[in-house]
Amino acid sequence: CLDLAVKPLLTIAVQDSQGNPIEGVTIIYAIGSPNAGWPTFGTSDADGMVVSNDLALGTKYYFYAQYNASTSTQQSLTLAGGETITFQTVLVKARVETCPGVPLNGATVTYGSVNGGFLTFGTTGSDGLASKELFPGYERTFYAGINATSSPLQTATVVAQSGPLVTFKTTK
């Protein structure tokens, strides 16, 4: 009896901070050199996977993942066959509060993408927090707005954290 199942040469898995699969993540790659151009490798499916058998064994490949206008740090490998590369986001939190530290509900937090421009990060809840899954490793610029006013910009490197990455306080 022959086993006709073909094992993928490469599997790319994309997970959120809790280890759940993320669908719709674009994977880009370069062959042989990180300066070789970055075509699309594929988009993650409902299981957070992109698989391929169309790669050359013994070749060096470089990969990035793009999601929520964030880009992962680069991962590379020389393909031996059967490898899995995993990209994982971190839950980034921003807090908006009054001068004495009371959480503000309904503030809009905005962040800068690596490709330029600002995007909605989220709206704070009763705890004053807004959150979004982003890839770690790059600086982001954030600002918050409420009642037709906005905060000064804050820049921080996206990392896994237990508390808010940035906190905005109102002034008197």
At residue 172, the pLDDT reads 65
pTM passes above 0.75: yes
Most distant pair of Cα atoms in the chain: their distance: 78
Going by their DSSP bridges, the two strands 83-88 and 49-52 should be labelled as: unpaired
Instruction: Please give the torsion angle defined by the CA atoms of residues 78, 46, 112 and 92, in that order, rounded to the nearest 10 degrees.
Output: -90
The total of other beta-carbon atoms located within 10 Å of residue 84's CB is 11
CA distance 111 to 139: 10
Report in angstroms the alpha-carbon separations of 41 from 9, 105, 115, 116, 154: 13, 41, 19, 23, 34
Lowest average pLDDT, out of 52-61, 127-136, 146-155, goes to 146-155
Q: What value does the mean pLDDT take over residues 66-84?
A: 92
pLDDT digits 0-9 by tens, 9-65: 899 999 999 999 999 999 999 998 888 889 999 999 999 999 998 888 999 999 999
Residue 114: per-residue pLDDT: 60
State how far the alpha carbon of 22 is from the alpha carbons of 29, 34, 119, in Å.
19, 25, 20
Residue scoring higher pLDDT (165 or 20)? 20
Q: What is the pLDDT of residue 2?
A: 47
Average pLDDT of the chain is 89
Contact at 8 Å (CB) between 129 and 93? yes
How far is residue 11's CA from residue 17's CA, in Å, rounded to a whole number?
19
Q: Is the pLDDT of residue 159 over 70?
A: yes
Higher-confidence residue: 144 or 3? 144
CA distance 53 to 22: 21
